[in-house]
Structure 1
Amino acid sequence: MLKIQHMNIANKMSVLDLIEEMGKSGVLGAGKLSKATHLLADSIKDSETAIFLSMAGPLVPGGLRKVIADLIKDGHVDVLITSGANITHDLVESFGGRHYKGIHADDEELCSQGMGRIGDLYTKSEDFEVFETQITEILSKIAEKKKIISIRDFLFEIGNMIEDVNSILKIAAEKDVPIYAPGIIDSMLGLQLWMFTQDNELHLDAVGDMHELSDIVFGSKKVTAVMLGGGLPKHYALASNLLKGGVDAGIQVTMDRSETGSLSGAPLEEAKSWAKAKAGSNLVTVIGDVTIIFPMMVAGAREIINKEK
């Protein structure tokens, strides 16, 4: 048995220096973060590995918008799977809105003041009013060209019609990185789409996404799924790879527990029983807040890659 090596915290340490010290300890959450960071770096470096990144929870309003956008811009994401809410919040910022910090007040009072709360961050209803106006104009332009469209193509069209160079949708469209949002209707964007269809003809073809997605799965020699949070995006990332016996590697960052049998808290090893992860696949689960863990993981992986150039 190997002895645990205690971490040494020195002056002027880089993020990778700290993560490497965690790796020398090698146990509990510190050990898992180190393993996940190196797995992410190895997956990015391997030209034969496609990275499926899934996002659940308020990651865009929670400060990770640029982290995700930069990964796409730098060619480190091959497929993005996300909730409709993260797409909505990306568009809110693209249309000039923001997400805000503040002091928590009574939630009924917040509602009366036109404020919405997500934990300790806030949104303004006036920003969503701008979103509603802008997205309706975009929907009209899409409906002029197509009456039936897959969700992936729908998001690609939106990305091409916005001008915000910092937008996840915009950058993904420019890089031709597909975005899949199987639960898109469960969002403000989905609500606006439904309202638009009351007087206009525009239909989303959810099944249509599977044609391209299955081609990507079969066309990829290896797949690493990086799952931020759980829910539908996590399952879509794993289940799409069921077609070819499961993912070759997986990183999961979650705070959900496994006792209730929920997918969000399910250990990645459980996916092997469904052939959503291959036998012998490299799987790492890090328990923690994605807004803390993932930026550290990305910073460490980038440092590893840059040192080897």
Structure 2
Amino acid sequence: MSQNRPISSFIEKHYLHFNAAALVDAAKGYKKHLAEGKKMMITLAGAMSTGELGISLAEMIRQDKVQIISCTGANLEEDIMNLVAHDYYKRIPNYRDLTPEQEWDLLSKGMNRVTDTCIPEEEAFRRLQKHIYELWKDANDKGERYLPHEFMYKMLNSGVLKQYYQIDPKNSWMIAAAEKNLPIVVPGWEDSTMGNIFASYCVTGELKPTTVKGGIEYMTFLADWYTQNAGEHGIGFFQIGGGIAGDFPICVVPMLHQDLERDGVPFWSYFCQISDSTTSYGSYSGAVPNEKITWGKLSIDTPKFIIESDATIVAPLMFAYVLEW
């Protein structure tokens, strides 16, 4: 086993069949895609930030292994929550055994559970609320408008959160993204804690809903970005989980083709999804890649990979392979 890349060497030796082999094929395809000078989008669904994917994803960003990210509003904020409140998180390994009464007790203590991990409301949600509100209010009063991730970048780049850091900043993918001003698409941001908090200020009349730009403006931004960066060969699409984080951005290609009727727009040129969704249930997220051909998202020649497994296990291993760890 190579001492310079112990994880990659282990994977090559032992991951030979089934989902393990699909992981290797997809990782090799990812590296080949980048080696050919093409760019890659990573999409984040689920609670990957709370699962601390930032430990490996931040390095992917720093080493230019990803050029754009699409994520849910939860993943956008939860990486920063972990950054400033990690010491207050509580892990509950026996979460499957909790009674409704025990769940209620967690609520009464301000501990919001995500599988085996409880996010502390006061130290995480409210700590960010204080500072993000000031940015929202300032923009609102000046008549300025920004995308959700741009407000987060402003907060991180201001340095106001440094006093709270409880993990090594190099393990925060949002810090790595902010340092590079990495493009981010956050469809359905309203379905997040910060989105709910923003809405509450709109109900009271303190803020205008238009101060934070929405999904249509993310799609128009993505249309321009894809057009400017796809070249002749297209962008790669690496999807972690399912849902809107993946379904929203992948549609930019058929929109450019079918709705704007632009010629010469390349299809997505690499596709990989880590998922356990079941196709026979009529799931968009679990649709096999070939179905996406019929929607004008992928071409016949697009390399296509499906890894039916747990993304919290698979994604860090794939990133380690791409990084040659």
AA at the equivalent of 1:218? T
Structure 2 partner of 1:44: 34
Structure 2 partner of 1:227: 239
AA at the equivalent of 1:30? A
* 8 Å Cα contact 1:254-1:287 kept in structure 2: yes
* 8 Å Cα contact 1:52-1:79 kept in structure 2: yes
Distance 2:249 2:2 in 1: 40
Superposed, which structure 2 residues align to 1:125-144 within 5 Å? 125-127=121-123, 128-144=125-141
> Among residues 82, 91, 115, which one is paired with 2:80 in the alignment?
91
Residues 145, 80 of structure 1: alpha-carbon distance in 2 compared, 3 angstrom cutoff: farther
Number of residue equivalences: 292
Write the deviation string for residues 84-122 of structure 1: whole angstroms up to 9, x where unpaired: 111121221344455432354421221122211111111
- Which gives a bigger RCO, structure 1 or 2 (Cα 8 Å, sep 6+)? 2
TM-score by length of 1: 0.85
Structure 2 partner of 1:80: 69
Deviation at 1:280, TM superposition (A): 1.2
Write the deviation string for residues 169-219 of structure 1: whole angstroms up to 9, x where unpaired: 333232121111111000001011112333123513322223331122122
AA at the equivalent of 1:121? T
Superposed, which structure 2 residues align to 1:1-309 within 5 Å? 14-22=6-14, 25=16, 27-47=17-37, 49-97=38-86, 99-103=89-93, 104=95, 105=98, 106-127=102-123, 128-151=125-148, 153-162=150-159, 163=161, 165-166=169-170, 167-197=172-202, 198-201=205-208, 203=210, 204-206=212-214, 207-219=216-228, 220-221=230-231, 222-242=234-254, 243=256, 244=265, 246-303=267-324
Deviation at 1:251, TM superposition (A): 0.9
AA at the equivalent of 2:323? R
AA at the equivalent of 2:113? R
Write the deviation string for residues 248-282 of structure 1: whole angstroms up to 9, x where unpaired: 11110011111111111111221111011112110
The 3-state SS of whatever aligns with 2:316 is helix
* 8 Å Cα contact 2:2-2:9 kept in structure 1: no
* 8 Å Cα contact 1:22-1:34 kept in structure 2: no
The 3-state SS of whatever aligns with 1:141 is helix
* 8 Å Cα contact 1:142-1:157 kept in structure 2: no
Residues 36, 101 of structure 1: alpha-carbon distance in 2 compared, 3 angstrom cutoff: same
Distance 1:241 1:290 in 2: 25
Identity %: 22
The 3-state SS of whatever aligns with 2:43 is strand
The 3-state SS of whatever aligns with 2:299 is strand
The 3-state SS of whatever aligns with 1:41 is helix
Which has the larger displacement, 173-182 or 80-89?
173-182
* 8 Å Cα contact 1:84-1:187 kept in structure 2: yes
* 8 Å Cα contact 1:54-1:81 kept in structure 2: yes
AA at the equivalent of 1:16? S
Deviation at 1:11, TM superposition (A): 11
Which has the larger displacement, 143-152 or 123-132?
143-152
TM-score by length of 2: 0.81
Distance 1:294 1:137 in 2: 35
Deviation at 1:45, TM superposition (A): 2.5
* 8 Å Cα contact 1:147-1:202 kept in structure 2: no
Distance 1:227 1:65 in 2: 16
Distance 2:62 2:39 in 1: 15
Residues 214, 138 of structure 1: alpha-carbon distance in 2 compared, 3 angstrom cutoff: same
Structure 2 segments unaligned to the other structure (5+ residues): 163-168, 257-264
* 8 Å Cα contact 1:151-1:182 kept in structure 2: no
Deviation at 1:22, TM superposition (A): 4.6
